[in-house]
Structure 1
């Protein structure tokens, strides 16, 4: 019964905007539009990028659907307008793309950051609990954005935050462990960024002889890739491995992470011997065999390893590098022993 009610509500929330869009599409292809193209193109543009999003916002105002989903509705309207309106009648649509849409997007990002900052302050009010920006950002965005948009938005904001905003040194507690100091990963990522910079410069010069536009496209893509890698690199300093409240939080920057319940741990082995990676045995590092390991954690039941952009992989055994692996094993063994004691 509840499921049928939810289906009916979704039909109303999304069906009405779709109905209006369909009517506008028919109008744009009608003979009446050919008689009054200028006036009707203004009206159709306003309806697609303003009226329909407002109607949608009114429909969802008392529901759990995030109000920020009105922005995708607005963008869909803009894209449909680009398709159904003749190119010579898209003047006002182009004005919207140039001036209004960037303001809307900037406002949305500012709104997300504002809510994240409030969430961070709430976490910090508890002095016994350290704040993890990435986790806080995900939690906040899931309450504000469509689920499909959360991980891409969170990743982009986190790359900028860890790469260029959060440079304050993070002191580790007794239950926290680093994993980047002795693994060689930082050196490898710095080398990759350096190679990207050199190749971008050389290829830009060569490609510019053929096409200046193609050269600049390649350059900006390379710069974006370099910024992404730099943000990934910096996030490793700020997201340590944590043992807390009966759970083991394993993180590899913002690239990979998993949460293991202590009761699910079968054994912890200190080993740097080669191990075959397969569907049951995964590496915490996204670099795979390029990075060494010194700890193997075997579980009683399958768990999920979450990667970049929300990719999920099952595993039974997890291979990782911990800088102070012996100390890590001792703390983890002690925590496991406490849970088994009556």
Structure 2
């Protein structure tokens, strides 16, 4: 059986459990005595015995199995809190209260981990190593490559540029030649204007939502807006510090706080000027903050299912000439 499919079996089993018990607790059939008997014990067994066993049997990494088992159990407890009838709950009431303790513990652990990673990155940034490598090194101690790893490095890069951008030196990035994109169509100025607009809007929107709708909704939306503001600040500060770089073997596309894209030079079919709008597509990657991209790169072999890369840079002719000389 495909290894990737095997690793996803616990998640598939969780989805099947949720669908099955949603039907069981929200319908009337012979299985629940036509709606009169909807006990908690079947879900208890599947939550604390069956699902953890599935995780440990099908996941070879026992640390990952433990983390997923705890997370999936917490999700099922939350599910049961809403769908098990109140009169059928005996043990579930205690579990509902315990979930807050679990959530607080997980949040505390996450904060400790993030603080440790930031401290390690801050120390590494004082050296002359590539800042992207300084970012990835602590994460590799905790995570393996994959979607979670990619998301975490994006998230940590956002915080690093927001908090420690002054410690990042552009010349430390790997590459023989560096190319920039902050001045194209005044991308950096537009970003700064948007940051001021968001900072002005957040407290006003919070007050309006607090009195016109709900304090809880106001707090949630304000927290999400603050997170978005942090993201834009990190993006703004990265524009003038994180370059697109050319090495002997690769074009390294770093754009704002996006994860870097490594394009082997021998995989580039053509590179040419571009001046038209590029619509979203599953076959293209666009690295451009404003206006239209001014460079088109066609690949021989796809990278992450993308056959074309579009860039928006300050001086497209310099990058095109440098790449053509290398190729």
For the aligned pair, the TM-score class normalised by the smaller chain equals 0.5 to 0.7
SS at match of 2:80: helix
Match of 1:58 in 2: 56
CA contact (8 A) 2:271 2:298 kept: no
How much has 1:226 moved relative to structure 2? 1.1
Match of 1:247 in 2: 250
Tell me, which stretches of 5 or more residues in structure 1 are unaligned?
A: 307-311, 337-342
SS at match of 2:275: coil
- Alpha-carbon spacing, 1:172–1:95, altered in 2? closer, same or farther (3 Å): same
CA contact (8 A) 1:189 1:233 kept: yes
1:136-193, Cα deviation, whole Å (9 max, x unpaired): 678777627xx55454444333322332255413141562425244332222111101
- 1:335 equivalent to 2:326? Answer yes
C-alpha RMSD of the superposition: 4.9
- 1:319 equivalent to 2:311? Answer yes
Match of 1:296 in 2: 295
- 1:92 equivalent to 2:94? Answer yes
CA contact (8 A) 1:177 1:322 kept: no
1:278-334, Cα deviation, whole Å (9 max, x unpaired): 458764214454xxx6x5244353645x7xxxxx75426x232146963x4554344
Match of 1:76 in 2: 75
Match of 2:278 in 1: 277
Structural mapping, 1:39-188, within 5 Å: 51=49, 54-60=52-58, 62=60, 66-67=64-65, 68-87=67-86, 89=89, 90-107=92-109, 131-132=132-133, 143=144, 149-165=148-164, 167-172=166-171, 175-183=176-184, 184-188=186-190
Match of 2:28 in 1: none
CA contact (8 A) 1:302 1:315 kept: no
- Alpha-carbon spacing, 1:87–1:286, altered in 2? closer, same or farther (3 Å): farther
CA contact (8 A) 1:256 1:284 kept: no
Tell me, which stretches of 5 or more residues in structure 2 are unaligned?
A: 26-30
State how far apart, in whole Å, the 2-side matches of 1:113 and 1:299 are: 41
Structural mapping, 1:180-219, within 5 Å: 180-183=181-184, 184-213=186-215, 214-219=217-222
State how far apart, in whole Å, the 1-side matches of 2:24 and 2:139 are: 40
SS at match of 1:254: coil
1:219-245, Cα deviation, whole Å (9 max, x unpaired): 333222212212222343553212235
Match of 1:340 in 2: none
SS at match of 1:132: helix
CA contact (8 A) 2:296 2:308 kept: no
State how far apart, in whole Å, the 1-side matches of 2:16 and 2:277 are: 55
- Alpha-carbon spacing, 1:66–1:296, altered in 2? closer, same or farther (3 Å): same
SS at match of 1:315: strand
- 1:226 equivalent to 2:229? Answer yes
CA contact (8 A) 1:281 1:319 kept: no
CA contact (8 A) 2:118 2:160 kept: no
- Alpha-carbon spacing, 1:138–1:251, altered in 2? closer, same or farther (3 Å): farther
State how far apart, in whole Å, the 1-side matches of 2:323 and 2:16 are: 58
CA contact (8 A) 2:206 2:218 kept: yes
How much has 1:251 moved relative to structure 2? 1.7
State how far apart, in whole Å, the 1-side matches of 2:325 and 2:256 are: 26
- Alpha-carbon spacing, 1:139–1:234, altered in 2? closer, same or farther (3 Å): farther
- Alpha-carbon spacing, 1:303–1:60, altered in 2? closer, same or farther (3 Å): closer
State how far apart, in whole Å, the 1-side matches of 2:128 and 2:289 are: 32
TM-score by length of 1: 0.64
